[in-house]
Amino acid sequence: MALIDFGGVKENVITREEFPLEKARQTLKEETIAIIGYGVQGPGQALNLRDNGFNVIVGQRSPSLSYDKAIADGFVPGETLFSIEEAVEKGTIIQYLLSDAAQIALWPTIKPYLTAGKALYFSHGFGITFKEKTGIIPPADIDVILAAPKGSGTSLRRLFLAGKGLNSSFAIFQDATNRAQERVVALGIGIGSGYLFETTFKREVYSDLTGERGTLMGAIQGLFAAQYDLLRSRGHSPSEAFNETVEEATESLYPLIAENGMDWMYANCSTTAQRGALDWWKKFRDAAAPVFKELYDSVEAGHEAQLSIDSNSQADYRVKLEVELNELKNSEMWRAGKAVRSLRPKTT
């Protein structure tokens, strides 16, 4: 591992230079990687592993849209595409990439096929961390590992095709074979990680649930909505309110942050913008800090996990979800956003 200084705190990370792709292939040359679930993370990880030269099969229910997508992506029924049970039986590494709710529902089906020496792989620590709630308790004679890309499967695939990588965390919950670390690192490199940093299943799920509800999705939507609504209430047009709230952030400023950091973005804005941002950011931090504490406490206590399990296991979950997503989609802010996106210059 390479020791890297992260803002004055040194951490061990694993880079592609010290664990190159060829080493990853050699490590897993006798393994069959079974991707269970072809929804959010499944396609990106499966295709990246396949393109990188690993032996990959997919397990998916048929008929289903995900099964059809796997066929469209080049997986062949009876050769590299199987029922879930067949794939788990054939695989030596089982990448359990279903949704948290689906993992709970399917666990009794796949557990009998998790025979000694296999590896059970997750990209989210939910099922294992909250095993008392989920019932996902692995056999003692298998490896239980995690590689969690810090983004969606779509982003993982897009960056892979662009020759880049999406950073991932990795963790070991159970090392039955004394090969768990080399297996998970090889898989992390194989799926296209930029670099790998070590965590635990518990820390991964705590940070992930906090991030999703916070700055990655929940908080950012809340901030967007608050500013957009304020501008509209003060007489600004939908176009102006959306451009000043979302479009400039996502199309202009956030890419600058990704490129070189917040300080660099500040330095490349007007002096008026710099002054205002420097004067106001701590007020927003102080206003949000109690909400983030409440959020983390709820995650740590298991309340968020229970809410997710209770909600996602309901028979009409998808119907209710569609109603909530349509509320966002049909809000004036995101209808304005659709119009703004349609007016972006087309690439030639």
Catalytic residues, by residue number, are 124
Return d(Cα 20, Cα 35) in angstroms, integer: 22
Tokens (6 digits) for 224: 């967007």
Tokens (6 digits) for 240: 């102006």
Helix (H) or strand (E) holding 198: strand 195-198
| Cβ atoms within 10 Å, residue 84 | 20
Return d(Cα 96, Cα 37) in angstroms, integer: 7
What would the DSSP string read from start to end of 111-144?
A: GGG--TT-EEEESSSHHHHTHHHH-----TTSEE
Residues with Cβ within 8 Å of 181's Cβ and at least 6 positions away in sequence, in order, are 172, 175
| Cβ atoms within 10 Å, residue 160 | 20
Contact by Cβ (8 Å): 75, 83? no
Tokens (6 digits) for 42: 């499944």
